[in-house]
């Protein structure tokens, strides 16, 4: 055993003196006693950054990880921000919900106690709930803010907390920086619980909020017009019970859960990554679909703010991409469900541009934003005279209707089922509607991939890689000339290639990944050309992706 460097040893002892959790204290003490300077240096090399996505990280001891002390410090900073910057925050209060991950209930209780100690009323959900229910509760109860304790679709070792303001939207700049500054002040002065402030109450979330959420969601989406069979998985998360209830109350009578995955399990025993987008994650859903002859399969992610859609196809069930589902929902909602000139659709820059063409065809407004619903929710708020019909991003996140300001997998699942029912009444399928869309607008193919690296310093390497590429973009990719390159943000690079090809590269905001998004547009010469046009598009996309994979591997 070797002695720790003096500065590191001092930081470790200071942390141990205030860590309220015996488990993480013992963990750090064991590392200290073993003289594991490398691991401790990583754990104490800064702080888990509070940004527009809130906090998210691996549950371990130390300031760069997700643990009770980090949560309590963050909650104190949030409380200070609300008290100083939001009129009436003490009375309006903060609603807090949590998922079923390890320690989520403890983190939620910690946050509630700290915020209430600052004299701000707290409404706390005791049973685990989906993220969209928590987001709904903010505006429904007139709260000043909301906190959701979740790591969404991250691995089981991770957790996080996400902050929403009273408008029901995720925070953006400058709020994120102002909250982060207040958290830094808490860390500096050590006062997690203030002195001389009368504490406020911590009240349970009224059960009526859940019923109201389900009712509002049902009334936003047309009921089924033809009977269909639906298979559903909650991916071991918290959406199973409410997903089943929502579908059945909406008159979908034949709903078949994937029993092994429908109830919460913080260890996510049947999937390596609890993300419906990961290869193999929906295999059990597909088997359930085939066993029950289901017309559609729906896979909620663990906090139920996203949904993947699977449909029967030649050779067996096939999972649609997020962009395919976005185009299908957009076409249906604009053509058959809503009407009027002042309708709005929104996508992120990394999503397919097809929805913009669909919106133009139906006389609707369309806007494109940076990635994340913190941005996707803004056009509707800037234009209250427009009615939002759909906002979506390619990573299977959908907001349906004018009042939704964050992605909602439960309402997305209900909308997908309703669309399948409407098509079945016409003797048609999702694939038939997708053919219609591609025949009218051309084939839009998108394919995304990522390079994962969670080793020390990887986050900085990813940022530097994108910045370097933006400063000196390649002249060609896979032999195809790059026509234009634009930095959409400091860490987001978009490149346009000859032949209607688009490439976007950015670091993930929530996972240790460098992400690449590719799109190709291919003209279609009538219905008979559809299959050939898709083959042409796929071949071009594969060539570009192969070259990009080799290029991005240098960032890992």
Q: How far is CA 267 from CA 3, 98, 154, 236, in A?
A: 36, 16, 11, 8
How much of the chain is in helix, strand and coil states, percent to nearest 5?
40, 20, 35
Query: 530: burial class by Cβ within 10 Å (0-12, 13-18, 19+)?
Result: middle
Q: Could you tell me if 192 and 216 are in contact, meaning their C-beta atoms sit under 8 angstroms apart?
A: no
| Pairing of the two strands 296-300 and 397-400 | unpaired
Q: Could you tell me if 303 and 289 are in contact, meaning their C-beta atoms sit under 8 angstroms apart?
A: no
Q: Could you tell me if 352 and 446 are in contact, meaning their C-beta atoms sit under 8 angstroms apart?
A: yes
Let me know if 201 is a catalytic residue. Answer: no
Sheet holding 296-300, edge to edge: 254-257, 229-233, 296-300, 307-311, 318-319
Question: What is the 3 state secondary structure string of 111-141?
Answer: HHHHHHHCCCCEEECCCCCCHHHHHHHHHHH
Q: CA-to-CA distance for 23 and 155, rounded, in angstroms?
A: 20
Q: Of the residues 45, 104, 125, 152, which is catalytic?
A: 152
Q: Could you tell me if 86 and 145 are in contact, meaning their C-beta atoms sit under 8 angstroms apart?
A: yes
Q: CA-to-CA distance for 223 and 250, rounded, in angstroms?
A: 6
393 phi and psi, to 5 degrees?
A: -130, 155
Q: Is 448 left (phi over 0), alpha (psi -120 to 50) or beta?
A: beta
Location of structure tokens 């470790």:
12
Q: Which residues pair with 282 in a beta bridge?
A: none
Q: Could you tell me if 381 and 548 are in contact, meaning their C-beta atoms sit under 8 angstroms apart?
A: no
Query: 199: burial class by Cβ within 10 Å (0-12, 13-18, 19+)?
Result: middle
Location of structure tokens 């009334």:
219
Q: CA-to-CA distance for 120 and 310, rounded, in angstroms?
A: 44
| Sequence-distant contacts of 547-551: CB under 8 A, at least 24 apart | 547/477, 547/478, 548/449, 548/477, 548/478, 548/503, 548/516, 548/518, 549/449, 549/451, 549/516, 551/474, 551/477
* Coil/strand/helix, residue 474: coil
| Sequence-distant contacts of 492-498: CB under 8 A, at least 24 apart | 492/349, 492/370, 492/371, 492/466, 493/466, 493/469, 494/349, 497/544
Q: Could you tell me if 76 and 114 are in contact, meaning their C-beta atoms sit under 8 angstroms apart?
A: yes
Q: Could you tell me if 397 and 346 are in contact, meaning their C-beta atoms sit under 8 angstroms apart?
A: no
Q: Could you tell me if 462 and 555 are in contact, meaning their C-beta atoms sit under 8 angstroms apart?
A: yes
Compute the residue count for the chain: 556
Q: Is the dihedral of CA 257, 258, 259, 261 positive or negative?
A: negative
**Would you please indicate which residues are annotated as catalytic (active-site) residues?**
152
């Amino acid at each position: 055993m070797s002695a720790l460097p003096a500065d590191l040893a001092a930081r470790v002892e200071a942390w141990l003196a205030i860590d309220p959790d015996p488990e993480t204290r013992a963990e750090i003490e064991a590392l200290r006693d073993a003289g594991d300077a490398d691991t401790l240096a990583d754990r104490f090399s800064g702080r888990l950054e509070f940004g527009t996505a809130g906090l998210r990280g691996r549950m371990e001891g130390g300031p760069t990880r997700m643990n009770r002390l980090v949560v309590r410090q963050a909650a104190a900073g949030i409380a200070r921000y609300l008290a100083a910057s939001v009129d009436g925050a003490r009375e309006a209060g903060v609603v807090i919900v949590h998922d079923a991950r390890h320690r989520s209930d403890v983190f939620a209780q910690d946050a509630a106690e700290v915020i209430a100690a600052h004299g701000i009323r707290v409404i706390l959900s005791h049973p685990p709930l989906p993220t969209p229910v928590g987001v709904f509760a903010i505006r429904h109860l007139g709260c000043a803010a909301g906190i959701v304790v979740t790591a969404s679709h991250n691995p089981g070792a991770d957790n996080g907390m996400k902050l929403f303001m009273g408008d029901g939207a995720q925070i953006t700049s400058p709020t994120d920086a102002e909250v982060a500054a207040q958290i830094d002040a808490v860390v500096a002065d050590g006062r997690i619980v203030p002195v001389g402030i009368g504490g406020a109450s911590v009240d349970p979330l009224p059960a009526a909020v859940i019923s109201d959420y389900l009712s509002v969601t049902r009334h936003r989406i047309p009921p089924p017009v033809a009977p269909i069979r639906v298979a559903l998985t909650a991916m071991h998360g918290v959406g199973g019970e409410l997903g089943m209830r929502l579908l059945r109350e909406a008159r979908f009578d034949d709903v078949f859960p994937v029993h092994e995955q429908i109830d919460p399990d913080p260890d996510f025993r049947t999937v390596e990554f609890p993300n419906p987008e990961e290869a193999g994650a929906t295999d059990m859903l597909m088997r359930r679909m085939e066993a029950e002859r289901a017309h559609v399969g729906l896979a909620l992610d663990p906090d139920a703010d996203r949904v993947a859609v699977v449909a029967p196809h030649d050779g067996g069930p096939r999972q649609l991409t997020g962009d395919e589902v976005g185009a299908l929902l957009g076409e249906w909602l604009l053509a058959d469900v809503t009407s009027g000139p002042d309708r709005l659709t929104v996508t992120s820059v990394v999503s397919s541009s097809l929805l913009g063409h669909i919106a133009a065809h139906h006389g609707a407004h369309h806007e494109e934003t940076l990635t994340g619903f913190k941005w996707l929710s803004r056009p509707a708020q800037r234009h209250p005279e427009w009615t939002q019909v759909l906002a979506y991003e390619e990573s299977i996140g959908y907001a349906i209707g004018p009042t939704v300001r964050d992605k909602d997998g439960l309402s997305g699942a209900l909308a997908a089922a309703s669309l399948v029912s409407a098509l079945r009444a016409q003797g048609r399928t999702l694939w038939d509607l997708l053919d219609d869309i591609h025949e009218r607008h051309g084939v839009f193919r998108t394919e995304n991939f990522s390079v994962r690296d969670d080793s020390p310093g990887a986050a900085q390497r990813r940022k530097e890689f994108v910045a370097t590429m933006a400063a000196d973009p390649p002249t060609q990719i896979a032999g195809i000339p790059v026509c234009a390159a634009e930095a959409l943000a400091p860490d987001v690079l978009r490149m346009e290639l000859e032949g209607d090809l688009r490439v976007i590269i950015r670091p993930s905001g929530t996972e240790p990944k460098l992400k690449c998004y590719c799109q190709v547009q291919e003209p279609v010469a009538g219905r008979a050309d559809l299959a050939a046009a898709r083959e042409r598009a796929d071949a071009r996309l594969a060539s570009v992706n192969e070259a990009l994979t080799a290029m991005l591997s240098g960032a890992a």
